[in-house]
Every structure is written in structure tokens, then in C-alpha cells.
Amino acid sequence: MSIYVRAKKNMGPFVLDVEFETGGGVTGLLGASGCGKSVTLGCIAGIVRPDEGRIVMDGVTLFDSEKGINLAPQKRKVGLLFQNYALFPNMTAEGNIKSVLALGGRTDVGGRFRSLIEKFYLGGLENHYPATLSGGQRQRVALARIMASDPRIIMLDEPLSALDSYLRWQLEGELIRILEEFGGTTLYVSHSRDEVYRLCSNVCVINEGRAEPMRTVEELFESPNTLASSLLSGCKNYSRASAAGGRTVHALDWGVDLSCSTAVAEDIGYIGVRAHYITLDCDGESENSFQCRVLRVIPDVFSTIVNVSPEGAPSSGDFSRIRVEMQKEEARGISAGDIVRVRMGPEVIMLLKG
């Protein structure tokens, strides 16, 4: 099952302008809140009409602005799970599920209903209303209702964001099982890099309404190539940058030249370095090491965070501060005001476009 999406929609504060194609497995749409992820799902489902574009699912055109095609939502065979699950509050679990089965004109409503109850472990909850169900039970009812429509594709819009951390972890495991059993294409919208990493095989970053090229999850986290994708992958340290010739980059906010493992393009905008890849240079002779002043030492649960500022930094802006994550033993004896040398190996420096 494949889906191709090209959609443009003027949203006022920004213009949604996305294009991507994916087929099979779970594809993540990753981006900050308000960047256009949910609107993209709405365009695919048919509840938001793009100003222009084309949407094709498994060879069937759902929307084409040039040809005047715009299939009604109920004809698209798309299952969309909203963040709040959108169950009918005045219907029991059974009523919510059977309301979809009845629309499909099935002759075996009872048999299909029982199979969904068993598949989603809802036995004994048939006569319960949504308000009396737990978060996990509501999610399973909502997923069962989606599957009752025999969707070609499933789309999940921040399905775990409203849950506390313990319940979220439990339901994530159930969700993985359900999506594996579904076997078709799933689009998973999230602003959580951790969820996307664990649940998805491919990911499309959406930044202020624009979609970046599709990448595997491994590529995104190991070698993001834009500032937006690097921020979403969890990197904490950045500096504005300019090419200094060959494999050398000038870190403008840190006031140092650094060697990189690859050639530096002239259009570079930033460099990024993950906090746990930065080490102390006790000898002061290592490549890419420079002197910093310790601003703050923050004990964390399993590590210690040391915030430093390069002595050569030309300003005191946010980018001039560097976060270093160390083992607790390594950070013993370090205090605010100390002068230390930090090292960033050439292989850990990410070259980023703006």
C-alpha cells in the first residue's frame, strides 16, 4: 500500500507546502507543534481541502486540484485516530464500533464485531461508555472503530501525547503490536523524537509547513542535515558556521575553527554537536579542543550536565553556551567558574543547512 501526497494550503500564519511518498510500514511525520502535521493528515482524510495538489493512495486518486477530483471522506478508506480519540460520548464501546460496521453495509456485523472485541482485548467492556473507560481502553475502542471500516491506511495524530509517562509506555507497546498486525501503511504524527524512533521506520520532518525529503529514522538521528531536523532529533549544541576551507569550519558563536570528517560546503549555516559526544581534554593537546569556563553543574538522574561557555565566544547569546553530558564520576570536582578544555572529535560535528 503506497501513498503520494502533494498538498498546498494557506493557513494564515504559514503556508502548508508538503510533498512526500511512502509505502508500507510506519512513517513518522515529525515536527514542532503548529507546523502543519495534523493539517496534512486532514488533507489526506478529506476533512481539509488543499488549495492545490494531488493525493494518490495505492493508485486511486483521492484529490487532484487540476482534474477537479475530491473524494468524500467516507470513500477514501482512511482510518484517522485523533489525539482525543473522538469517541461518541453517548454511545457504549459496542455502539461506537457497530456504528462504523453498520455504515459499511456488512451482513456479518455481529461476527466482525466479536472478532474486533477479541483482537483489541475489549471483552467485558462492550456496555461501558467512554467516560468510564481508562485511557488505554478508550484508545483500543477508537482503534477497533477505525479497523471496523477496513481502512487502506491508518493515520495516528499524537495518539499518546495526552497520557502520563507510565501509561504512555504501556500503550506504546500495544500500539506497536496492533500496527504490526495491520501490516499496511501507517502515518504517525508526533513531535516526540523518542516515539518516532521506536515506532517508525521512515520519517518526514515538517518545518513551518514545509516537508523535508523522506529519510530513514537511522539517517535522521545519525546524520541530520538541516537545523530543523537536528533540533527535532534532540541535539542540544549549535553554532552559526562558515566554511574555512577544505574540512575546516569556523564556529562563529564559539570563536573557534574546527576540523570536520568531511569537506565543508560553502552554503553551510550551522554546526551541531550532541552533548554526550563532547569530552574533556585533560592534556590540552587533542584536535578540536578549546578552553571554556564552567557556567553551571547540574546533577541529573544518571549523569551530570555541565554547561560551559567558550572563552573565545564573541557574544553571550544562546548558541554560545555548550551543554556537556558526562558520567557522574567524570564530573566530580568540576564547579562553576572553573576553566576546562572540551573536545569535539571531527567525526561528531554535524554540518547543517539553515
Q: Give the pLDDT score at 311.
A: 93
How far from 120 is each of 96, 161, 313, CA to CA, in Å?
14, 21, 57
Q: Are residues 221 and 272 in the same domain?
A: no
Nearest to 157 by CA among 14, 23, 39: 39
In this structure, the answer to whether residues 155 and 243 fall within a common structural domain is no
Clarify whether residues 188 and 256 are in a common domain. Answer: no
pLDDT at position 344 is: 97
Do 275 and 317 lie in a common domain? Answer: yes
Q: What is the pLDDT of residue 149?
A: 87
Which residues, in sequence order, are bridge partners of residue 171? none
| 28 and 140 share one domain | yes
Query: What pLDDT, on the 0 to 100 scale, is given for residue 161?
Result: 73
Do the Cβ atoms of 156 and 189 come closer than 8 Å?
A: yes
What is the structure's pLDDT at 86?
Answer: 86
Domain boundary among 226, 249, 271: 226
Question: 244 and 214 in one domain?
Answer: no
User: In what order do the strands lie in the sheet containing 289-299?
Assistant: 279-280, 339-343, 289-299, 304-310, 322-326
Phi-psi sector, 68: left (phi>0), alpha (psi -120 to 50), beta: left
Exposure string over 253-285, b if 16+ CB within 10 A, otherwise e? bbbbebbbeeebeeebebbbbbbebbbbbeeee
Portion of the chain with pLDDT greater than 90, in percent: 68
Intervals of the chain under pLDDT 70: 104-107, 162-167, 316-317
201 with 304, same domain: the answer is: no
Task: Please tell me whether residues 105 and 247 are part of one structural domain.
Answer: no
Quote the cell numbers at residue 185. Answer: 501503511
Are 128 and 35 within one domain?
yes
Q: Which of 201, 226, 251 is the last residue of a domain?
A: 226
Do both 132 and 268 map to the same domain?
Answer: no
Distance, CA of 231 to CA of 238 (rounded, Å) = 9
196, 58: one domain: yes
Range of the structural domain that residue 272 is part of: 235-352
Judgement on whether residues 130 and 106 belong to the same structural domain of the protein: yes
CATH assignment of the domain containing 344: 2.40.50.140
Question: What per-residue confidence (pLDDT) applies to 173?
Answer: 82
The domain tally of the chain equals 2
pLDDT (tens digit per residue) in 3-41: 999 999 999 888 999 999 998 899 999 998 889 999 999
Q: Which among 147, 153, 181, 199 has a CA at the least distance from the CA of 5? A: 153
Domain boundary among 226, 250, 268: 226
Q: What is the CATH number of the domain that holds 207?
A: 3.40.50.300
